[in-house]
Amino acid sequence: MITVAEMTQWFRKAFDETQAQLLAEATVRLHEDHVHREDFNRLTQTVERLGERTDRMAVAQEQTALELREVAAAHRETAREVQALTVAQQRLAESQSAMQSQIGELTSATKVMQSQIGELTSTTKVMQSQIGELTSTTKATQEQIATLAWSMKDMQKQVGGLAQSVGCGLEAYAMDRIPKILAKQLGFVEESSGPEQFVGTNGSQDDIDVVVRGSLEGRPVVFLCETKTNVSAQEIRGFLATADRVRPQVGCDDVRIFFFAYRASPEARAAVKDVGGYLAFPHTILVKPSE
């Protein structure tokens, strides 16, 4: 007959002491109660399956222990990384402190520079104001210089071709130049340009330097032109009297007075405006009647 001690010894192969004792006692009781061999075999198989499961549990425990060791190693590595991060943070804090010190120095230098820039800006404004005054003062002079330079250059060019046939006089230059100025400034269409003589009823003779005939907007117009190097107010009034004598003999209802010169004083310009005439330098019309 199988005893509890024998069964316990046998169960110790797969179970601990308490489990082996309990299984041994249960087995003996079953045997004593006349358990059939078939039931005992099933019990044995169950016990064997329990043993296999126990083996698997032991393997799982070993695997768990290995994983725990790996976790512990990972924790140690994390601790090292945290320590390295702490050192890096300390170094970063030291760098930031040094940078803040440099920023403070740079801010001080910037304030000094801004102050210098403010002083320079004030100086620049004063200079700009002085330059503006100088520009206003010299504007009229520059205009006169530009006009004279253009006039001399254009005269040299024009006189080069006219001098051989007509002569070097101002009238020859004006005869060619005045129609071009009228065309450019007024849209005048030239028909003829040249000196003309007019004989009065009493036998007197009036010579006009340049008489320019043509049309404006399809209407006949004649310009009686007086040419002077430097026209004066007195000469303007004298030519106006000549024009009044000649006007009835021109053969045109629209006869206008035109002065061509290189220079003209403010008084002369005012006199031209007063008589309703035109005043032109070689490159443009300076005075014309009010429209």
Residue 162 pLDDT greater than 70, yes or no? no
pLDDT band at residue 166 under the 50/70/90 scheme: very low
- Please answer whether residues 196 and 211 qualify as being in contact, where contact means their C-beta atoms are separated by less than 8 angstroms: yes
* Nearest by Cα to 287 from 274, 269, 275, 271: 269
pLDDT in tens, 91-138: 877 877 777 767 777 777 677 778 777 776 777 787 777 756 656 655
- On the 0-12 / 13-18 / 19+ scale of CB atoms within 10 A, 123 is exposed
pLDDT band at residue 65 under the 50/70/90 scheme: confident
pLDDT at 153 (0 to 100)? 60
Type and span of the H or E element at 80:
helix 37-162
- The residue among 183 and 204 whose pLDDT is bigger is 183
- What is each CA distance from 220 to 1, 108, 212, in whole angstroms? 161, 80, 11
CA dist 40 and 44 (Å) reads 6
CA dist 232 and 234 (Å) reads 5
pLDDT at 196 (0 to 100)? 94
Report how far apart the first and last C-alpha atoms of the chain are (Å, whole number): 152
pLDDT band at residue 67 under the 50/70/90 scheme: confident
pLDDT in tens, 188-213: 999 999 999 999 888 889 999 999 99
Of 26-35, 67-76, 138-147, which one has max mean pLDDT? 67-76
Residues 6+ apart with CB under 8 A from 185: 284, 285, 288
Cα 150 → chain centroid: 38
- Give percent above pLDDT 70 in the chain: 79
Which pair of tokens denotes residue 184? 């450019």
- The residue among 199 and 148 whose pLDDT is bigger is 199
Strands 189-199, 205-216: pairing kind: antiparallel
- The residue among 214 and 94 whose pLDDT is bigger is 214
pLDDT band at residue 5 under the 50/70/90 scheme: confident
pLDDT at 144 (0 to 100)? 62
CA dist 164 and 27 (Å) reads 156
Residues 6+ apart with CB under 8 A from 31: 1, 2, 40
pLDDT band at residue 160 under the 50/70/90 scheme: very low
Type and span of the H or E element at 249:
helix 233-250
Which pair of tokens denotes residue 107? 């801010």
pLDDT at 173 (0 to 100)? 95
pLDDT at 237 (0 to 100)? 93
- What is each CA distance from 91 to 104, 165, 199, 261, in whole angstroms? 20, 98, 112, 87
CA dist 126 and 119 (Å) reads 11
pLDDT at 189 (0 to 100)? 97
pLDDT at 159 (0 to 100)? 43
Cα 265 → chain centroid: 47
Q: DSSP letter at 2? A: -
CATH classification of 169-287 is 3.40.640.10, yes or no?
Answer: no
- Please answer whether residues 10 and 19 qualify as being in contact, where contact means their C-beta atoms are separated by less than 8 angstroms: no
pTM assigned to the model = 0.45
CA dist 125 and 8 (Å) reads 114
Task: Please give the torsion angle defined by the CA atoms of residues 213, 216, 219 and 221, in that order, rounded to the nearest 10 degrees.
Answer: -30
Q: Where do the H-state alpha helices sit in 251-288?
A: 266-274
Q: Is residue 288 classed as helix, strand or coil in its secondary structure? A: coil
